[in-house]
Amino acid sequence: GAGVSQSPSNKVTEKGKDVELRCDPISGHTALYWYRQSLGQGLEFLIYFQGNSAPDKSGLPSDRFSAERTGGSVSTLTIQRTQQEDSAVYLCASSSRQGRTDTQYFGPGTRLTVL
Amino acid sequence: AQTVTQSQPEMSVQEAETVTLSCTYDTSESDYYLFWYKQPPSRQMILVIRQEAYKQQNATENRFSVNFQKAAKSFSLKISDSQLGDAAMYFCALLPGNTPLVFGKGTRLSVIA
């Protein structure tokens, strides 16, 4: 596709439920990132995938958060047993080069609301 | 620790005027990259401009330019001939070597017709 796409655009869930957020990176991009943007805050790094290397999970806030990337393309971020503090916009980005020095291009995000 | 500070939570500018958004950062890396991203209400983060730390020349993209002061660790964004479509949140971001992108908390820019 022309850009990074994310689905759903908005997700409302009840506390304790699991949610899955999807990211389709730009075709050919080898690097994929997940960020979280809480209200009034900047972006917080969650996880980074680069090709077939083991992902950098250093930003995941708890073991309720996990992510996978299938076939080096689409990625799914899963939040188990959601809590109200998980409410935020989840942004995905991709970049084309090895390493992290190339420009990251962002998707439109998924707004998650946990009631 | 890598940090990015945007000291202006909100700014406003008259249409067609010039505005400068401030950003300071801290990193121990000698090689890094700096970015300005724009986030309109649609939530889409759009790259505005990018600067490599090893380049002394300030980056420019049409009406957007930066003032990169490496010694002072300052990276301000100047928007010339402001347009209504420039209204958005602007985020300064630091890419310090092989570590995650670090963002400031943003500056909300309003453009007054």
| Residue A110 forms part of a structural domain | no
Residue A70 in contact with partner chain B when CB distance is under 8 A: no
> In chain B, whose CA is at the least distance from the CA of A59?
B100
| Residue A106 forms part of a structural domain | no
> In chain A, whose CA is at the least distance from the CA of B10?
A40
pLDDT by residue (tens digit) across B75-104? 999 999 999 999 999 999 999 876 788 999
> In chain A, whose CA is at the least distance from the CA of B35?
A103
Provide the pLDDT for residue A103: 83
| Residue A52 forms part of a structural domain | yes
Provide the pLDDT for residue B31: 85
Does A100 sit within 8 Å of B95, measured CB to CB?
yes
Provide the pLDDT for residue A70: 84
Nearest-CB residue to A108 (from B44, B95, B99): B44
Provide the pLDDT for residue A99: 53
> Which chain B residues touch A110 with a CB distance below 8 Å?
none
Q: Residue B73 and residue B102: Cα distance in Å, rounded?
A: 14
Q: Which domain holds residue B66?
A: 3-112
* Residues 6 or more apart whose Cβ sits within 8 Å of residue A41: B105
> Which chain A residues touch B43 with a CB distance below 8 Å?
89, 91, 108-109, 111
- The single residue listed with the structure tokens 């080898």 is A30
Q: Which domain holds residue A87?
A: 5-99
| Residue A51 forms part of a structural domain | yes
Overall number of domains in chain A? 1
Overall number of domains in chain B? 1
Does B47 sit within 8 Å of A103, measured CB to CB?
yes
* Plot region of A63 (φ>0 → left; ψ -120 to 50 → alpha; else → beta): alpha
Report chain B's mean pLDDT, rounded to a whole number.
93
| Residue A14 forms part of a structural domain | yes
Q: What is the CATH number of the domain that holds A55?
A: 2.60.40.10
pLDDT by residue (tens digit) across A77-109? 999 999 999 999 999 999 886 555 678 899 999
Contact B106, B20 (CB under 8 A): no
Q: What is the CATH number of the domain that holds B10?
A: 2.60.40.10
Residue-wise DSSP of B21-66 = E--EEE-S-SS-EEEEEEE-TT---EEEEEEETT--SPPEETTEEE
Task: Name the residue type at position A47.
Answer: I
Q: Residue A112 and residue B31: Cα distance in Å, rounded?
A: 36
Mutate to test the interface with A, among B32, B44, B50, B94 (most CBs of A within 10 A): B44
> Which chain B residues touch A91 with a CB distance below 8 Å?
43, 45
> Which chain A residues touch B53 with a CB distance below 8 Å?
none
| Residue A68 forms part of a structural domain | yes
pLDDT band at A9 (very low <50, low <70, confident <90, very high): very high
Tokens of residue A58, six digits = 């250093």
